[in-house]
Amino acid sequence: MRAQNLLWRSPFRFLATRISGQSRTSSTSLSVPKAVDAFQYASREEERIVKTTLHELGTQSDMKLSLKVYHFQELSRTSLSDETLRRDSRYVRLKQDLRDEVSKLSPAQLVAAMVSSGRLSVREKALWWDLARAVERHTVKTRSGLPGLQHSQICLVMYSLGKAGIKIKDRFYFRHFKLMIKHAEVWTEFDMAWILYAMRKRRLKPHFEDDIKHRLWAQVTRAVAAYFNQKLHFISPQGIVFILYEFAKQGLYPGESIFRAGRRVRRHIGSLSNKALVCLAVVLARFDWPQRRLLKKLSAEVVQSRRLVQLHPNMLAVILHAYARLGVRDLALLEGTTDKLSRSTEKMARRSTTMVAYSLGRLGVRGPMWKPLADRISEQIDYYPPLELALIAHAFGKASVRERSLLEGPLSDAALGSISGFTPKHVACLLDGLTLAGCLREDVFSAFMEEYIRLGSIGGRQRQLMMARILFAVLLERKHLLENRSAAWQPLLSRIQHAPVDAVPLPHHRELASCAVALSLDARPRRRRGPYVVDLHVPVDAHVPAAEGAKRVISGLAVHLMAEAEFCPLTGELLGPTRLRRRQLERMGWQHLGLRRKEWLALPDTEARVSALEALLLEHVPLRRRPVAEQMALLPEGQSTQPGMMWCNCQMCQGHGSGYVGAPILESIGGHKVSDMSELVSRLQQEAREKDFVEIEFTMAVGPYTMVLKSADVAEAEVRIRELYQLPALASRNLDAEPIPAIPPLVGVAAG
């Protein structure tokens, strides 16, 4: 009976086996890639190379191993990647043959295979691990104890691993670095760059002093920095840039050699490749090193027609972002890059569009670039993370670009869709940008304010200023949005009255008050109105309409000395924060009147400044001009003729995007408080005579700051400051420039 059952089942079992075997065979035949020739080639020459190589691989079954490595190299020199080529069975078989015969590869063939795998972006870990084991057999596991690979070959292998993004165990790097550190003096410029690149990609950073591996990472980094300094005059300018780029990406400072390197690169900047130019810009930005002469050379090289044609829009975005981080407005660079980027926005990647928007917003650039950029952002809006959405909105707001089709539409919708990913800082940037641009939707405001309150983070001074500006704008222009809110909103709303105000007394405030007295005005400098402090407030007795037919009336004039950072460097138009200030002051009854600070202070004397202020106010208030000689006696008692501040770096005061505007206030010298200019001079001279170093305490917008000067350099520093900023013309009673004394010879020698 059992036999009969077996006989009964056997035909079905045989049939099932046949069917399953056929299915396995069919599935296997479908999974194995076949010969494919339909690739997208970059040129006819590349097409010839790929087709010839694949044909040779498919027709020669007994090909030598050296020829297989050669063909692998030929394929790696094309624009095709491993992901594309593996659709062809001949290429897949080639990789499998190399893996099977990896133990038979010579050292040179092994290095060539790893370099080719890195170029092709091969992601198969099994292949990489087999190649790495073979490298160890030729270096640290030889019978004689001597490595079969040179240092440059080992560094090239590590570079290929980093380029492919493959994580090999730390012991692989530890063994090879331990081998190479014994003869670090033979490292070339390429070896140094490859070593730093491999350490950065594998994140080999020294953190723990007790760990032997971390001590070796630190030793290797110090060796690279030391021999970079020693061999700097032998290294090519391009090699210098790449080594400094790797140091900058890791957040490491290579020492004083960076200044010698900058001078050498500046002289040969024309010999740099396109990639090296981009890396140079990143180096300057990451080291926060606004070397003016080098930046001018760089921008002059970038805007050349031959460079602009070769540079990809993504590269231009990185260069523009570097200048934005440094706060440097180079007109030639801005004109050239914005013109090309506006015509090639479709080629920009998602991240590049964010970088361009952030850079243009921080540098305060307006113009036709924003419209195509907004269209490109709208196309990719679903792929932006919360951080980039906040940066884009803030950039549009700072440049005062009201692109409603983007800001009130796709961007607001995308922000609401990813609201859970926003941090308090991102929320503040998003709302501030939409407020400055005038595109704040009610649902966006309510949702993000609820999220901000839920997160419960007050933030620093800069964020408090931003939130105060947002809430004050809503309170002034859309008061109904704050009605019927929960009790959780009350602490946040109460901070509007106590928001910090960046209004440090500056020397030009006293000059402005002097000019107002000369015009017989009952004016008050540094008058606060809401979250703003105006440079000079002039009351208007007879309230007049803000404009012809307007319902609001004007009760005062707000004279504002506008810095260069408040204007677009290309078009000369006002930017977002200043436009918002003008709009809100007019809603509160103060008419905003602006003077360019740099041009006004550059006038030859006080008479000319009084004339400029008179021309500005003539149509608004009655004026009676007095002689300049009488104005000092009529100043209020609270305004001293010698303010207790040291100097004002006007170029730094005009830096765009900084929350702090103005000079540092001097508090003490050598621990002794200073109350006026005469005490400052005497105390500084006494400290310089008695001590080798002078400590000067300042109060800045960001907090206390201590400066330490060599006593031998104080006299020269005083002369240089007076030369640059003409302080006698701003501090003396008659406001006439005093003769600048020459530098004593001995002081000049000691300082030099």
The residue written with tokens 């900084």 in the block is 658
Q: Which residue has the tokens 């960076």?
A: 258
pLDDT per position as a tens digit, 149-205: 999 999 999 999 999 988 889 999 999 999 999 999 999 999 999 999 999 999 999
β-partners of residue 595 are: 561
481 band by pLDDT with thresholds 50, 70 and 90: confident
Q: Is pLDDT of 521 > 50?
A: yes
Quote the pLDDT of residue 655: 36
Angle subtended at Cα 67 by Cα 64 and Cα 72, rounded to the nearest 5 degrees: 130
Nearest to 643 by CA among 668, 670, 610, 678: 678
Predicted pLDDT at 733? 37
Buried b (16+ CB within 10 A) or exposed e, 511-537: bbbbbbbbbebebebbbebbbbbbbbb
| Tokens 């006293």 belong to residue | 510
Q: How confident is the model at residue 1 (pLDDT cuts 50, 70, 90)?
A: very low
Report the predicted TM-score, pTM, of the whole model to 2 decimal places. 0.77
Residues 593/557, Cβ–Cβ less than 8 Å: yes
User: 256: which residues sit within 8 A by CB, 6+ positions away?
Assistant: 229
* In the predicted structure, residue 731 carries a pLDDT above the cut 70: no
Q: What percent of the chain has pLDDT over 90?
A: 55
C-alpha to C-alpha distances, 712 to 111, 694, 723, 724, nearest whole angstrom: 58, 10, 18, 20
CA distances in angstroms from 242 to 195, 247, 264, 609, listed in the order given: 12, 9, 14, 51
Express each pLDDT in 262-286 by its tens digit.
999 999 999 999 999 999 999 999 9
Q: How confident is the model at residue 498 (pLDDT cuts 50, 70, 90)?
A: low
For the ranges 51-55, 59-63, 675-679, the lowest mean pLDDT is seen at 675-679
For the record, the structure tokens of 589 come out as: 């009854």
Rounded to an integer, what is the distance from CA 50 to the centroid of its chain? 41
Greater pLDDT, 617 or 30: 617
On the question of pLDDT at 517 being above 90, the answer is no
Phi–psi pair at 400, nearest 5 degrees: 55, 50
Q: In whole angstroms, what is the distance from residue 482 CA to residue 492 CA?
A: 11
Q: How many CA atoms lie within 13 A of 417 on its CB side?
A: 12
342-389 pLDDT, tens digit per residue, is 999 999 999 999 999 999 999 999 999 999 999 999 999 999 999 999
The phi, psi pair for 221, rounded to 5°, reads -65, -45
Q: Which helix (H) or strand (E) holds 539?
A: strand 532-545
| Cα dist from 606 to 264, 558, 634, 643, whole Å | 46, 20, 15, 18
Tell me: pLDDT of 312 over 90. yes
| CATH match of 664-751 with 2.30.30 | no
Distances (CA, A) of 133 to 82, 168, 175, 257, 291: 22, 10, 12, 38, 46
Residue ranges per structural domain of the chain:
405-494, 507-634, 664-751
Taking the C-alpha atoms of residue 89 and residue 57, their distance in angstroms, rounded to an integer, is 10
Question: Residue 506 to residues 240, 316, 367, 642, 730: CA-CA distances in angstroms?
Answer: 43, 38, 33, 12, 11
Q: What is the pLDDT of residue 134?
A: 93
More confident residue, 253 or 487: 253
Stronger pLDDT, 694 or 105, i.e. the higher one: 105
Distance of alpha carbon 572 from the chain centroid:
24
| pLDDT beyond 60 at 645 | no
Residue 96 CA: distances (Å) to CA of 102, 281, 467, 498, 719: 10, 42, 61, 71, 74
pLDDT > 70 in the chain, percent = 82
Nearest to 614 by CA among 603, 598, 625: 625
Task: Tell me how far apart the alpha carbons of residues 229 and 223 are, in angstroms, rounded to a whole number.
Answer: 10
583, 492 contact by CB (below 8 A): no
pLDDT band at 38 (very low <50, low <70, confident <90, very high): confident
Radius of gyration of the chain (CA): 34
Residue 587 has pLDDT above 80, yes or no: yes
Average pLDDT of every residue of the chain: 82
Pair of tokens at residue 614: 């008179």
The enclosing H or E element of 183 equals none
pLDDT of residue 648: 36
Distance CA 354, CA 358 (A): 6
Determine whether 597 is exposed, middle or buried from the number of CB atoms within 10 Å of its CB (0-12, 13-18, 19+): buried
638: Cα separation from own chain's centroid: 43
